[in-house]
Structure 1
Amino acid sequence: MKKITLLTTKYSDNKKDAWLTNELAYSLRDDGHIVSVVVFSWLPNEPETRVKKIDGINVVRVKLPKIMYNKNMFFTALKMFLFPQVAKWHVHKNIKECDLLITNTPCVTILGLSNFFKNKFNSKTYLVCWDFFPFYLKDLSLIRNKLVFKIFHYLEEKMYRSFSKIGCMTKGNINFLLKNFPTVDKDKIQVLPLWAKTKYLLPIDVSMTRKKYNLPQDATIVVYGGAMSVVQELTNYIDLARESLNLDKKILFLLIGNGTEKTKLEKIVADEQLDNVMFINYVPRDEYENVVRACDIGFISLSRKLTVPSFPSKSLDYFKASLPILASLDAVTDFGSILENEIKAGLSVLAGDTESLLSKLDILVSDRKLRTELGKAGRIYYENYLTVDYAKKMILET
């Protein structure tokens, strides 16, 4: 039995909205480990500072004064440096022992905490590396100043060096890390796939589910579920919907969720009267899974501007539901190759190539047998490599 602290900026108090960090904490708890979670309320609408026992896990939530949530670069940068300092005080007060610290990127939000846990508790520390913060902001033109980028790059590299072990989503991520942060010891880096709680799904009544959400019974439904931000470049999805009208096939393009780009997307759809596109607001996790299962194809989209390889987390929802994937991807990610050649669960094209995307869509819409085969392959891969038990085993070996 280990005493484990999970440090993160994303953790739900509600099981219905459980995220990857929740699933890991629950799984560690179920194995008999004593689990504490320190979660930073990064957004203004997230809960206030408090300590609460939730589902057998000690959840220490930390929130900064209201003024720190002003939307400008000064306060955002200040938040990054204040959160770790405030967190140390809460850790001193609420955590007495820790054998293993598990945390996730972005690293600047946990500045110095790896060494803090090592020094205070003699902890092993594990970093789950899902993104590379300064490059992510640079890709989105949120960091334009070279000096600012260099400062954040220096801090991130320093943080990487402080961890006992680092888990990256794919080999592409590992190569990117070693190339851009050359002082990090390559021997402590491993592939750690994304994870989800293994869930053996009971059959659903597809017809009733479609009826509940006003979805057409006789259409092939392509679903996108998740954040609608510039990172996804979902104008490619709308372009595909527009061009698909020439296929003379009944296809519905469904978007589930919210985000900074949603209003823009809704306006395009309304202005062009694209009646083959439909929006559904955010729904609880368990309901969302049923809606996805009532669809035929899962869609993934990444901006062509991205320069960092990634493994989109929403793919797990599609794999879990045995849904084939159609992906519009940036040029640097290795997800397309993994999807088509390793998992064999979908088709992909480069973002912006609407003609090729339409051709791949036509293949999937026209071939129900192929959709079934791809969907089954995704489910098998999910059960073998994308489970919380698989990730937990790798992390605990630290």
Structure 2
Amino acid sequence: MHILFLSDNFPPEVNAPASRTFEHCRQWVEAGHKVTVVTCAPNFPTGKLMNGYRNRLWQQEEIAGIRVIRVWSYITANEGFTKRTLDYLSYMVAGTIGALFVRKPDVIVGTSPQFFTAVAAWMVAFCKRRPWVFELRDIWPESIKTVGAVKEGIAIRLLERLEVFLYRASDRIVAVTHSFRDALARRGIDPAKIAVVTNGVDLSSFAPRPKDGVLVPELGLTGKFVAGYIGTHGMAHALETLLDAADRLARDPRGRDIVILMLGDGARKAALKAEAVSRGLDNLLFLDPVPKDQVSRYWSLLDVSIIHLRTSELFETVIPSKMFEALAMGIPILLGVRGEAADILNRSGGGETFTPESGEELAARLVALREDSALHRKYAEAGIAAAPQYERKALAARLADILADVASRRRGERGG
């Protein structure tokens, strides 16, 4: 089977869409499938080209057996609605044109969170008379309304109409959460066409390991209890909550050896760093993103993983992918997310939840875990035991079966 995959994020970018797409495609290649990915020059989230790349009309490389075609796009940092929309639209146009030159795909996949990628997949499928699958990683544009990036108006209403059109036009929808499937069903989308393949973890890359002996002294973490947030510093994440917790810890004798490490980049990072300086918070450590093959070294530094999203009914349908990485590495989780993610964590026993946007509660939970080594060990062991349920190889195989079924059905309709 030849799978044509459209995604505007792909390694060496290290965000969740890039990682999910790469890990699935790599597994498909190893299983004997041919995979072509049409993406753009890597620049997320800073809007700066990564070393070794240029923003050309067309460039091609091979990564882990995957044919990767990179097309030109308007490059901007991951902030600002208008510029980001131009980014998305430029990829939609260039990605469509680039994908049309890919010969004989059996099935086409377009992944969100923004769905202009799905528009490109639909157009390519229409032109090539091939089936296409909408991989739904976010309910967009609802999510951009939720974070206040854009207000209700005619533009949003048009985008919502386009959203529903794409759901109906796709041959299959693959959602990353059961909550997404339920939300679409409530909006009149046939539940029978919606499959669920959750995010997961590559257990060959993320496994229990001792703290990195080079990074601990290098970053001044010797003797420290390290709580960490690893991921995008965006509008949806309300990371001011971590600053509030750091402030409380600095004033609590029981929390003065606790450091909060924040690794990543995003629209809110500069403001968060400035606020930390203005509040005199020296128990916060901001680190820039690192290459994908180095991420597990930084995970190893953590005694606790903090995963957080702002308070929103929409975000109760989200399952942050970093949760599975923490479970696999045996790092207890403090989860500031309600809904399906909280249900998964509670079933796993790999940590505990706290009220989103409550720095006071987060600080208290950190102190409690710092002082209760038995509870900390219990969470770590439970996470390691639960992680194989979300092993990426099995999830990739399930998704490949779905794609094969879609492709075979279309061939049957065409009479072979």
Q: Same fold (TM over 0.5)?
A: yes
For residue 134 of structure 2, what is the aligned residue in structure 1? 127
Which amino acid is 1:335 matched to?
A
Structure 2 letter corresponding to 1:277: L
**TM-fit CA distance, 1:4:** 0.8
Please give the residue correspondences for 1:290-329 in structure 2 after superposition, counting only pairs within 5 Å. 290-305=297-312, 307-308=314-315, 309-329=317-337
User: Residues 84-141 of structure 1: CA distance to partner in whole angstroms, max 9, x if unpaired?
Assistant: 3433322232x11111222211353135444444444443322221111211111122
The answer to whether residue 392 in structure 2 is matched with residue 355 in structure 1 is no
Counterpart in the other structure of 1:45: 48
2:182 to 165, 175, 190: 175
**Residue from 99, 102, 105 that aligns with 1:98:** 105
The 3 A distance-change label for structure 1 pair 132 and 371 is same
Are the equivalent residues in 1 in contact too, given 2:100–2:128 (CA < 8 A)? Answer: no
Q: Is 1:215 equivalent to 2:220 in the alignment?
A: yes
Find out whether 1:338 has 2:344 as its counterpart. Answer: yes
User: Is the 8 Å Cα contact of residues 16 and 286 (structure 1) preserved in structure 2?
Assistant: no
Change in 2 beyond 3 A, CA 1:74/1:279: closer
- Structure 1, gaps ≥5 residues long: none
Report matched runs for 1:217-256 at 5 Å. Answer: 217-245=222-250, 246-249=252-255, 250-256=257-263
Instruction: Choose from 152, 159, 164 the match for 2:166.
Output: 159
Q: Distance in 2 between matches of 1:157 and 1:264?
A: 35
- What one-letter code is carried by the residue in structure 1 that aligns with 2:329? A
In 1, the alpha carbon distance for the partners of 2:241 and 2:352 equals 15
Within-5 A mapping of 1:254-269 = 254-269=261-276
| Counterpart Cα distance in 2 of 1:201 and 1:337 | 22
Amino acid aligned to 1:45: K
Aligned partners of 2:355, 2:13: CA distance in 1, in Å? 37
For 1:60, the aligned partner's letter is: I
| Runs of 5+ unmatched residues, structure 2 | 406-416
Judge which range, 113-122 or 264-273, deviates more.
113-122
The AA in structure 2 aligned to 1:36 is: T
Q: Which amino acid aligns with 1:310?
A: V
Q: Matched residues in 2 for 1:368 and 1:70: separation?
A: 39
Shift of 1:38: 0.7
Q: CA RMSD in A?
A: 2.9
Query: Alpha-carbon deviation of 1:64?
Result: 3.5
Q: Distance in 2 between matches of 1:184 and 1:268?
A: 44
**Is 2:74–2:91's contact at 8 Å kept on the other side of the alignment?**
no
Kindly provide the amino acid, as one letter, of the partner of residue 11 in structure 2. S
Please state how far the C-alpha of 1:310 moved relative to its aligned partner.
0.6
One-letter identity of the residue aligned with 1:59: V
Q: Residue 323 of structure 2: SS of its match in structure 1?
A: helix
Kindly provide the amino acid, as one letter, of the partner of residue 168 in structure 1.
Answer: A
TM-aligned CA deviation for residue 14 of structure 1: 7.8
Q: 1:241 to 1:30 in 2, by over 3 A?
A: same
1:174–1:191 contact (8 Å) kept in structure 2: yes
Contact 2:175–2:181, Cα closer than 8 Å, also in 1:
yes
The alpha carbon displacement at 1:37 in A equals 0.5
- Percentage of identical aligned residues: 19
Following the alignment from structure 1 to structure 2, what is the Cα–Cα distance between the partners of residues 69 and 324? 32
Structure 2 CA distance for partners of 1:272 and 1:110, relative to 1, 3 Å: closer
2:69 alignment partner in structure 1: 60
Residue in structure 2 matched with residue 377 of structure 1 by the alignment: 382
Give, as a single letter, the amino acid of the residue that structure 2 aligns with 1:38: V
Q: CA deviation at 1:221?
A: 0.7
Equivalent position amino acid for 1:316 in 2: F
Report the Cα distance in structure 2 between the residues aligned to 1:70 and 1:190, rounded to whole angstroms. Answer: 29
What is the rounded CA distance, in whole Å, between the counterparts of 2:240 and 2:341 in structure 1?
20
How far apart are 1:29 and its partner, in Å? Answer: 1.0
Residue 392 (structure 1) aligns with: 397
1:386–1:127: structure 2 CA closer, same or farther, 3 Å change rule?
farther
Q: Does 1:278 align with 2:285?
A: yes
Q: Aligned partner of 2:399: which letter?
A: M
Q: Deviations over 1:341-397 (max 9, x none)?
A: x22211112223333323322332222222222223223332222414323323423
The equivalent residue for 1:24 is 24
